Amino acid sequence: MGRPSFKHKQRKALTVLTAAGLALCAASYAYAVDDQAEEKAIKAGTGELKGLEDKLKATKAREKSLSAEISALEREAQVLSERLISMAARVQAREAKITAGEERLGQLDLEERALKDQLRRRRKTLADLLAGLQRLEQNPPPALIVKPDDALSALRSAMLLGAIVPELKSEATAISRNLSRLVELRSAINREREGLEANIARLGTEREEIETLLAQKQAVATKTRGEQKEYHRLAQSLAKHARNLRSLISALEKKRKTRQEAERKLAEKLAKQELEAEERRKLEEKRRLAVLNAPRVRFSRSRSKIGYPAQGEKLYTYGDKKPDGKISKGIALATRSNAQVTAPADGTVVYAEEFRSYGKLLIINAGEGYHLLLAGLGSLTVTAGQTVRAGEPIGTMGIEAASGVVGSGAPTNRPVLYVEFRRNGKSIDSRPWWAGSSSKVRG
């Protein structure tokens, strides 16, 4: 048989405590009947209080075991977070390769069309030269030995042949060279297309892996929160029954002065131990959460070190005039459809919902009064209250821009990510924080 479940232990503890409370209630009634019954009731209450103390000790041992389990789950979540960061970087690099391949393929197609046009023009020139030779063959000049007096006609024919033959040779060489280049171009186009298809296939596989890792991380987080809630409920229930038990004992002890001092000291000692344990638990929990949620790098020291959250073309930045005539308070990146979006810096998600006409809106608290606002996303993979690390995937773009991001009248044929930095509620210039540049994405 397996060990009793956590909920089973909780129900058993509450049953014992409830029985103790009922026993003390019965004891208080018995005291009103006679002194001997009161003596028995107080002894019974003292015994139940000792049992409660033992239960509290067992609860402390369970708390220590549960703390170790939660720490293990949190380490697992951190490992998954690092894998997600690595996978997101690989996906963005793959998107950049696909974009570059599409651009090279377009250039090769243009060169192929130009070469075919050149071949068509050379074909016409060659056809005219061949037609001239055909006419010369049908009406050849007379041989000088037959008509020695017709030397002028023979000389003209020789000059004509001398002019045509080199030109024919030049055109034939050029055509041969163009045909060879055309074969090379077609081979290059086929290679580019095969590489592009392979990259797209790998991109799909990597995105599926990211979705699997995200699901694992969500499962770990859910399990951790569930364990914490169950323990919190048990601690509250134990404290409530302990207070009830102490109250009943105090009511009996008021009528029995000879036993009051011993019972009062025992109750006070138990209460003090419980409060000290609770305070230690709360302090340890605050320390653990502070260490877990603290950014690895202070945001104020991240100038020129923050990477762009998505691959895209920078449309405008802080201080620029937007298409609708307003001055921008952030940067806007035009991305690929369904492009991967990552967290610019460490922090805690404080908002992750659809917001008016701005698409999915995400706000990250980066500490020191700084907040990072990202708008225009198509989907989100994080929730409010969740801790994220720089480079960790937080969502993907849609297939077109949100109207609230690009402004009224602006084209929405490709998704646009808007990023704004704020400190103490006011927008600030984000340009000093960015490192490198975003890749250009074709519309």
Q: Report how far apart the first and last C-alpha atoms of the chain are (Å, whole number).
A: 64
Q: How far apart are CA 267 and CA 283, in angstroms?
A: 24
326: CATH: 2.70.70.10
Share of the chain above pLDDT 70, in %: 79
Q: Which two tokens stand for residue 153?
A: 């006609």
Q: Which of 266, 227, 347, 277 is nearest to 52 (CA)?
A: 266
* Rounded average pLDDT over 22-44: 62
Instruction: Identify whether residues 344 and 209 lie together within a single domain.
Output: no
Residue 285 banded pLDDT, cuts 50, 70, 90 = low
pLDDT at 372: 98
Q: How far apart are CA 135 and CA 185, in angstroms?
A: 37
Instruction: Identify whether residues 233 and 311 lie together within a single domain.
Output: no
Half-sphere exposure of 243 (CA within 13 A, CB side): 6
Q: Is residue 443 part of a domain?
A: no
Q: Is residue 442 part of a domain?
A: no
Number of domains in the chain: 2
Q: Is residue 107 part of a domain?
A: yes
Instruction: Identify whether residues 305 and 274 lie together within a single domain.
Output: no
139 against 72, higher pLDDT:
72
pLDDT digits (tens, 9 = 90+) for 67-116: 787 788 778 878 878 887 888 898 788 888 888 878 888 888 888 888 88
Instruction: Identify whether residues 238 and 380 lie together within a single domain.
Output: no
Q: Are 326 and 405 in contact (CB under 8 A)?
A: no
Q: Is residue 103 part of a domain?
A: yes
Would you say residue 334 has pLDDT above 80?
A: yes
Q: How far apart are CA 359 and CA 365, in angstroms?
A: 20
Instruction: Identify whether residues 144 and 78 lie together within a single domain.
Output: yes
- Domain final residue pick, 293, 326, 354: 293
Q: How far apart are CA 206 and CA 243, in angstroms?
A: 56
pLDDT at 270: 83
Q: Are 349 and 384 in contact (CB under 8 A)?
A: yes
Select the highest-mean-pLDDT range: 11-15, 140-144, 384-388. Answer: 384-388
Instruction: Identify whether residues 39 and 161 lie together within a single domain.
Output: yes
State how far Cα 153 lies from the chain centre.
86
1 against 331, higher pLDDT:
331
Select the highest-mean-pLDDT range: 130-144, 167-181, 318-332. Answer: 318-332
Q: Is residue 29 part of a domain?
A: yes
* Rounded average pLDDT over 353-380: 96
Return the number of other C-beta atoms located less than 10 Å from residue 328's C-beta.
18
pLDDT at 25: 53
Q: Is residue 441 part of a domain?
A: no
Q: Which two tokens stand for residue 332?
A: 């806007």
pLDDT at 352: 97
Instruction: Identify whether residues 317 and 280 lie together within a single domain.
Output: no
pLDDT digits (tens, 9 = 90+) for 296-310: 678 999 999 999 999
Instruction: Identify whether residues 124 and 174 lie together within a single domain.
Output: yes
Instruction: Identify whether residues 256 and 330 lie together within a single domain.
Output: no
Q: Are 338 and 397 in contact (CB under 8 A)?
A: yes
pLDDT at 60: 80
Q: Is residue 49 part of a domain?
A: yes
Structural domain span for residue 323:
300-433
pLDDT digits (tens, 9 = 90+) for 56-79: 888 888 878 877 877 887 788 788
pLDDT digits (tens, 9 = 90+) for 390-443: 999 999 999 999 988 987 777 788 999 999 999 999 999 999 999 975 544 333
Instruction: Identify whether residues 138 and 218 lie together within a single domain.
Output: yes
pLDDT at 293: 54
- Domain final residue pick, 293, 309, 332: 293
Q: Are 31 and 41 in contact (CB under 8 A)?
A: yes
Average per-residue pLDDT for the chain: 80
Instruction: Identify whether residues 146 and 109 lie together within a single domain.
Output: yes
Reduced 3-state DSSP string for the chain: CCCCCHHHHHHHHHHHHHHHHHHHHHHHHHHHHCHHHHHHHHHHHHHHHHHHHHHHHHHHHHHHHHHHHHHHHHHHHHHHHHHHHHHHHHHHHHHHHHHHHHHHHHHHHHHHHHHHHHHHHHHHHHHHHHHHHHHHHHCCCCCCCCCHHHHHHHHHHHHHHHHHHHHHHHHHHHHHHHHHHHHHHHHHHHHHHHHHHHHHHHHHHHHHHHHHHHHHHHHHHHHHHHHHHHHHHHHHHHHHHHHHHHHHHHHHHCCCHHHHHHHHHHHHHHHHHHHHHHHHHHHHHHHHHHHHHCCCCCHHHCCCCECCCCCEEEEECCCCECCCCCECCCEEEEECCCCEEECCCCEEEEEEEECCCCCEEEEEEEECCEEEEEEEEEEECCCCCCEECCCCEEEEECCCCCHHHHCCCCCCCCCEEEEEEEECCEEECCHHHECCCCCCCCC
Would you say residue 315 has pLDDT above 50?
A: yes
Residue 10 banded pLDDT, cuts 50, 70, 90 = low
Return the number of other C-beta atoms located less than 10 Å from residue 343's C-beta.
27
Q: Are 118 and 177 in contact (CB under 8 A)?
A: no
Instruction: Identify whether residues 167 and 89 lie together within a single domain.
Output: yes
- Domain final residue pick, 293, 318, 350: 293
Q: Is residue 439 part of a domain?
A: no
pLDDT at 330: 96
Residue 311 banded pLDDT, cuts 50, 70, 90 = very high
Lowest mean pLDDT among 79-88, 164-173, 188-197: 164-173
